[in-house]
Amino acid sequence: MLVKLFIYLAAVLPAVLAAPRYKCYNPEPTTGVPTQTVTQTTIQTTIQTTAEITTQTATPYPSPEPQTPVYLNWTTVSGYFLQDETTTDPNGFDYISTNFGLIDRAYDSDAEFDPNGEKSQWQRFAHHIGELNKNSDASTEYKVLLMARHGEGWHNAAESYYGTPAWNCYWGQLSGNGTAVWEDPHLTPAGELEAIKANDFWRKQIDEHKQPAPESFYTSPLSRCTVTANLTFANLGFDNFYPIVKEFLREGVSIRTCDHRPSKTYITNMFPFYKFEEGFAELDPLYDGVKYETSEAQDLRNFNGLTDVFTKDKNTWISFTAHSGEITSLLRVLGHRAFRLATGQAIPVLVKVVSNLPKSTTTTIAPWTTPTVCPAPPVTSIANQGCVCTATATPTTTI
Ligand SMILES: *[C@@H]1O[C@H](CO)[C@@H](O)[C@H](O)[C@H]1NC(C)=O
Ligand SMILES: *[C@@H]1O[C@H](CO)[C@@H](O)[C@H](O)[C@H]1NC(C)=O
Ligand SMILES: *[C@@H]1O[C@H](CO)[C@@H](O)[C@H](O)[C@H]1NC(C)=O
């Protein structure tokens, strides 16, 4: 054992010491990133249409030309779900074993709706939300977003297998390793089981807890989400399960091939009943294998995406199937506390949306950036420190 260790060190140490200590691919821009100024008029009024997205070859959202001016403001409403409470630890929290996190409580609308105490918590909550909507003015709406992360994909397995730094600075840019494919990855067997668990959960929620079924379904175009949405909802007898594929729900775009979405034709062949938002491009207009989207740029696209959904969709119960980083950004934009989801997990968020507001202020966002990567497998990969490359390079386009 010791001998082996020495042989290993003798082989690796010179390279480790000689190599530049470069922390490759830092997904969060640090200082010195040039900024670009966008006025709130652009942010708050842009409606994503196909035309806008297709003309953006590797240029980030937002699109320059606002279509329909809408000024929305929203806020998450706490007091209903455990996920909003500061006392709830997101680590290890399971929406399945907690009735989706719905807090066991009374509502002022119970007296008239359920005088004999016969209705379920979800029935009373649904009634309560209906009352809030009925009694609010024309510019106020309450909506419940049900946001799910996809089941484990091959890229998740590979990131664990290689370690995050090595995954970010080298392996993630390849399309696979000969045994696993992680360019637009599909679900691993464990990921499929997570989606099947979500399916069992929904059946039970509807039959036993009388939770209202989602009225609209939206999914990220990446296969791990289109597949998860199908496995979760397709066989529940819903007559409205025609998910709309939305560009804005995709994962933060990085230089890794797992963020390269498939073509519209590919999605249609796999799920002929899925619908697409107006103008959804045939080929991925955003991924180029060279630049990554900053968190700020992702927040901005989510601001626009949520504005789009809230403006066009009058339904209350809305399902999103998306990604870890994407839901993190959505929660930030919604004003919800951070709540990181493990694969296959989901979170409900009650949102109060107010429209017809005056436009105002200016904000500044960091534009997309080009990271530095290793041109060959890194010498070392250490969690929270990065990896050591034998040389560094800027990524080249893989499409
Ligand atoms: C938007 O909502 C937040 C949270 O309720 C509030 O603090 C803010 O004043 C609102 N902005 C406008 C323009 O109404
Ligand atoms: C490829 O990556 C997968 C993880 O996604 C891993 O299980 C497998 O062992 C790797 N194959 C090789 C040849 O390294
Ligand atoms: C979609 O889900 C149904 C029901 O679970 C399943 O039979 C079918 O194989 C799934 N389709 C794909 C392409 O995954």
CA distances from 209 to 118, 172, 316, 336 (A): 12, 42, 18, 25
Checking phi first, is residue 326 left (phi over 0); if not, alpha (psi -120 to 50) or beta? alpha
The upper half-sphere exposure of residue 84, i.e. CA atoms within 13 Å in the direction of its Cβ, equals 16
Q: What pLDDT score does 9 carry?
A: 47
- For the chain, domains (ranges, CATH) are 2-29+44-388 (3.40.50.1240)
**Mean pLDDT value of segment 70-74:** 80
Task: Note whether 175 and 248 are within 8 A (CB).
Answer: no
User: Which tens digit of pLDDT belongs to each residue from 267-299?
Assistant: 999 999 999 999 999 999 999 999 999 999 999
User: Quick check: 285 and 29 in contact, CB under 8 A?
Assistant: no
pLDDT in tens, 154-179: 999 999 999 999 999 999 999 999 99
Distance CA 142, CA 126 (A): 11
Ligand lying closest to the C-alpha of residue 202: 3
Per the model's pLDDT, the better-predicted residue between 110 and 362 turns out to be: 110
State residue 359's pLDDT score: 62
Residue of 251, 277, 296, 326 marked active site? 251
pLDDT > 60? residue 15:
no
Ligand number nearest to the C-alpha of 75:
1
At 238, is the pLDDT very low, low, confident or very high (cuts 50, 70, 90)?
A: very high
pTM: 0.84
pLDDT at 295: 92
Nearest CA, atom 5, ligand 2: 158
With a 6 Å cutoff on the Cβ, whether 154 touches ligand 2 is yes
CA of residue 65 to ligand 3 center, whole Å: 39
Tell me what pLDDT residue 380 has: 86
